[in-house]
Amino acid sequence: MGNEEAVFFSRVLTETTLSFHIIYATIGVGVPLMIMIAQWVGIKKNDEHYILLARRWARGFVITVAVGVVTGTAIGLQLSLLWPNFMELAGNVIALPLFMETFAFFFEAIFLGIYLYTWDRFENQKKHFLLLIPVAIGASFSAVFITIVNSFMNAPRGFDIVNGELININPLLAMFNPAMPTKVAHVVVTSYMTAAFVLAAIAAFRLLKGSNHEYHKKALYLTMKVGLIFAVAAAVIGDFSGKYLAEYQPEKLAAAEWHFETEGNAPLILYGVLDDGEVKYAIKIPFALSILAHANPAAEVIGLDQFAEDEIPPLYIHYLFDLMVTIGIWMTVLSGVFWLGTKLRWKMVTKKWFRWLIVFGGPLSLLAIEAGWWMAEVGRQPWILRGIMRTEDGATTSGHVDTMLVLFALLYFVLGVGSVVVLRRMFRNNPVEREIEDREMEKGGDVL
Amino acid sequence: MTLEILGISVLWVFLFGYILIGAIDFGAGFFNAYSLLTGRQRILTNIIQRYLSPVWEVTNVFLVFFFVGIIGFFPKTAFYYGTVLLVPVSIGIILIAIRGSYYAFETYGTRGHKGYSFMYGLAGILIPASLSIVLTISEGGFVTMVNDHPVLDYWLLFTSRLTWAVVVLSIAATLYISAVFLTWYANKARDVEATNLLRKYALIWSLPTMITAGGIIVELRNHNPEHYSNIQTFWPMFLISLLMFIGTVWLIWKRRKYGLAFLLLLGQFVFAFFGYGASHYPYLLYPYLTIYDSFTNPAMAISLIVVFILGLGLLIPSLYLLMRLFLFDKDYVRGKGKYHA
């Protein structure tokens, strides 16, 4: 296998692993927070439905954590296996957050184990609740640290290269690079939002499929409300990300927006197709790109004309950008209407068709996560370390990458199907109505 | 002590941690699957699940810690080992993935699913074999430099007696460590039947463990004479290890003091593992890579050590809590009360 093929297959394998991993990772970051909120509400309101909600989410969460952990281990090792030259260089500068991530992971793993096996061990539910705090902190900080590593790849800082040698290395400067604040905030907030909408989809689905239990209604209201809050936050941070890109990575913004000529009063292009360099069927919002980039309708936005041909990312990232933003806005509106509708007792929000929209919102949010990551990562091409190392120079020289790609694709297929089958069986065989009955019989109704 | 030695010692400790708790974990999965096949599931499954369930995720972290740490302290290892290990480590990752997820599927999803338990039992026993290849490669002789890039000679690797000796040792040691630990754990749970069965497994697997361990030292004499002569300078460590091994087997044979037997086993592997590590000094990959020419820059080294100390400040109390709740809690070990989510 030639080196060009090794580079190609390394890219495909990394993309496959990450695309699969982030589904479970996003759930893994967001769900502990949701469990924590449910358990807290349950304790505060003295309402056993919320406690049960936390308990059932936790049970399903273990399955997703398991797949998240093993695929996370896979990508961790693949970084060195597929990109050895990159890791050798990066290891010198960015090892610190990578190392901190394992501590966060360690912390979460220990307390998740304890949390899962102490449900009936403490008299006081508050003690049990306390165990969730390190789980949620560990989960979120894993995301924070690993996103710092990724933001370093977009905005490498904290070292100088003199005659090919790395000198003046400053690990802290490398961590707190310009891409870090917006990236980290966006990743964490959209994980919370997505997890909330995925759980909302489950509750809406149960309500549609015959169960009309109070439990599901409480779950739906709680998750949609939390989802709304984080969806609004995600939009605000998205705006900051646009301003970051305009300042530090203008080629990514220009490629995502199909902004070819450097100009002021730049319009924002939504949708459309690219045909021989011509944008067709697009919606143009005047001045919006200038506002997004610099908060000033007349501001000049750097276009693709400022970059060498071989330093421009693929232009298809525009579609990914559209997909992500559209879903984000759609989910904000949907959860906003639901929240308002429930407050004002609109009939509409309890209608079947509305609940189906919520059901589709779960997978859609996951799709937006994927699209956002693809856009962010492909938008960095052709660099693996922007401005410093090109992707083809970071890849392995080993043959066999194609075979490994087949093996891993099979593995992810098995894990994906397996986790869905197990989760479905788990909850179908033990619906909440039966669990509430069982618990009442067991304890005479005294859960707390 | 230099920073290089401090760095490699810390990593070696974590690798040892992974090997030890990993072995208990992998071996337990294998015994669980084996007991399913032979209809003894009733005896073993409860004991095994009770120990493993709260800790399975922690086991994995030890491995992650090791490989992230070695890239952090010794970034050049990413270049050498990353390039040559694509195939063996990928197989290892796939096995780890199957094992970890099927374990969760079986334990939390559908309890007693034979297919799932069989898969995680089998995958578990192959993980040490696939990862132990790294130890063989580190002895040198299998990697050559072509156009400034390391290339692994697979044929040489798979036909080497050293490779197979290491593979057999890793499997035998896994089952032996696991059986000794579980004998102690079952005895603490006052489960006589499980104790007797596991005691038998411990005795069965003690012999192949010792024979292959000795065989490897003999193989090294031909393969890497420099390493072999280094091992001889550390002979007292290997002697202590052997004496502790004899102590463990004797106690288990006599059905006495299983806790002490496990401690002696721990000591046996500590001395053997650190004796081996010390004799490997200063090479990470013989003869291309030493800990000195691959060490990271001082700024990164210092910051990693600071983070490491802070991290341990969090971890040690947490691990202590975990052990107190599940390893040293009488009611939990004896299976009283339903704690499961």
The 10s digit of each residue's pLDDT in A183-241 is 999 999 999 999 999 999 999 998 888 777 788 889 999 999 999 999 999 999 988 88
Q: Is residue A395 predicted with pLDDT exceeding 70? A: yes
Helix A180-208 and helix A214-248, axial crossing angle in degrees, nearest 10: 160
Instruction: Please tell me the predicted confidence (pLDDT) of residue B80.
Output: 84
- Does A116 contact B54 at a Cβ distance shorter than 8 Å? yes
- Does B319 contact A110 at a Cβ distance shorter than 8 Å? yes
Comparing CB atoms, the residue among B55, B72, B101 nearest residue A67 is B101
Cβ(B48)–Cβ(B333) under 8 Å? no
pLDDT digits (tens, 9 = 90+) for A310-354: 888 888 999 999 999 999 999 999 999 999 988 888 888 788 888
The residue with greater pLDDT, A409 or A127, is A409
**Max avg pLDDT among A145-159, A280-294, B127-141:** A145-159
Comparing CB atoms, the residue among A91, A116, A118 nearest residue B78 is A91
Q: Record the tokens describing residue B271, joined without a space.
A: 């001395």
Question: Torsion angle of alpha carbons A429, A434, A438, A440, nearest 10°?
Answer: 160
Cβ(B99)–Cβ(A108) under 8 Å? no
- Does B61 contact A109 at a Cβ distance shorter than 8 Å? yes
Residue range A238-254: mean pLDDT, rounded: 87
Instruction: Please tell me the predicted confidence (pLDDT) of residue A329.
Output: 92
Instruction: Please tell me the predicted confidence (pLDDT) of residue A447.
Output: 43
Q: What is the DSSP secondary-structure string of A130-149?
A: HHHHHHHHHHHHHHHHHHHH
Instruction: Please tell me the predicted confidence (pLDDT) of residue A145.
Output: 94
What is chain A's mean pLDDT, rounded? Answer: 87
CB atoms within 10 A of CB A406: 11
Q: Record the tokens describing residue A235, joined without a space.
A: 């939009």
Q: Record the tokens describing residue A169, joined without a space.
A: 């290395």
Instruction: Please tell me the predicted confidence (pLDDT) of residue A2.
Output: 63
Instruction: Please tell me the predicted confidence (pLDDT) of residue B112.
Output: 63
Q: Is residue A445 predicted with pLDDT exceeding 60? A: no
Mutate to test the interface with A, among B93, B116, B293 (most CBs of A within 10 A): B93
Mutate to test the interface with B, among A52, A70, A94 (most CBs of B within 10 A): A70
Instruction: Please tell me the predicted confidence (pLDDT) of residue A23.
Output: 94
The SS3 call for residue B149 is strand
Report residue A448's pLDDT band, with 50, 70 and 90 as the boundaries: very low
Cβ(A21)–Cβ(A71) under 8 Å? yes
Q: What percent of chain A has pLDDT over 70?
A: 98
Instruction: Please tell me the predicted confidence (pLDDT) of residue A364.
Output: 95
d(Cα B219, Cα A217) in Å, to the nearest integer? 68
The A residues from 361 to 400 touching B (CB cutoff 8 Å) are 396-398, 400
d(Cα A201, Cα A367) in Å, to the nearest integer? 14
Q: Is A135 exposed, middle or buried (0-12, 13-18, 19+ CB in 10 A)?
A: buried
Q: Is residue A392 predicted with pLDDT exceeding 60? A: yes
- Does A102 contact B101 at a Cβ distance shorter than 8 Å? no
Q: Is residue A386 predicted with pLDDT exceeding 80? A: no
Q: Record the tokens describing residue A208, joined without a space.
A: 């549609």
| Residue indicated by tokens 């590593």 | A149
d(Cα A102, Cα B311) in Å, to the nearest integer? 9
Size of interface A-B (CB pairs under 8 A): 235
Instruction: Please tell me the predicted confidence (pLDDT) of residue A33.
Output: 94
Q: Is residue A444 predicted with pLDDT exceeding 60? A: no
Residue range A413-420: mean pLDDT, rounded: 91
- Using alpha carbons, select from B17, B321, B64, B22 the residue that is nearest to residue A110: B321
- Does A66 contact B325 at a Cβ distance shorter than 8 Å? no
- Does B79 contact A88 at a Cβ distance shorter than 8 Å? yes
- Does B69 contact A397 at a Cβ distance shorter than 8 Å? no
User: Measured between alpha carbons, how far apart are the two ends of chain A, in Å?
Assistant: 63
Question: Å from B238 to nearest chain A CA?
Answer: 32
Q: How high is the ipTM of this complex?
A: 0.85
d(Cα B269, Cα A276) in Å, to the nearest integer? 67
By CA distance, what is A106's nearest residue in B? B61
Contacts of B39 (CB under 8 A, 6+ apart): none
Residuewise pLDDT in 10s, chain B (341 residues)? 688 888 888 888 888 888 888 888 888 888 888 888 887 777 777 777 777 777 777 888 888 888 888 888 888 888 888 888 888 889 999 998 888 888 888 777 766 677 778 888 888 888 888 888 888 888 777 777 777 778 777 887 788 888 888 888 888 888 888 888 888 888 888 888 778 888 888 888 888 888 888 888 888 888 788 878 888 888 888 889 889 888 888 888 888 888 898 898 899 889 888 888 888 778 877 777 887 887 878 888 888 888 888 888 877 887 788 778 777 777 777 776 665 65
Instruction: Please tell me the predicted confidence (pLDDT) of residue A407.
Output: 92
Residue A171 with chain B: CB contacts under 8 Å: 299-300, 303
* DSSP type of residue A314: P
**What Å distances lie between residue B224 and A396, B88, B162, B238, CA to CA?**
28, 22, 10, 18
- Does B304 contact A70 at a Cβ distance shorter than 8 Å? no
Q: What is the DSSP secondary-structure string of A366-403?
A: HHHHHHHHHHHHHTTTTEEETTTEEHHHHS---S-HHH
Instruction: Please tell me the predicted confidence (pLDDT) of residue A369.
Output: 95
Contacts of A339 (CB under 8 A, 6+ apart): A224, A225, A228
- Does A113 contact B322 at a Cβ distance shorter than 8 Å? yes
Mutate to test the interface with A, among B105, B289, B308 (most CBs of A within 10 A): B105
Question: Å from A411 to nearest chain B CA?
Answer: 7
Instruction: Please tell me the predicted confidence (pLDDT) of residue B340.
Output: 61
Instruction: Please tell me the predicted confidence (pLDDT) of residue A71.
Output: 92
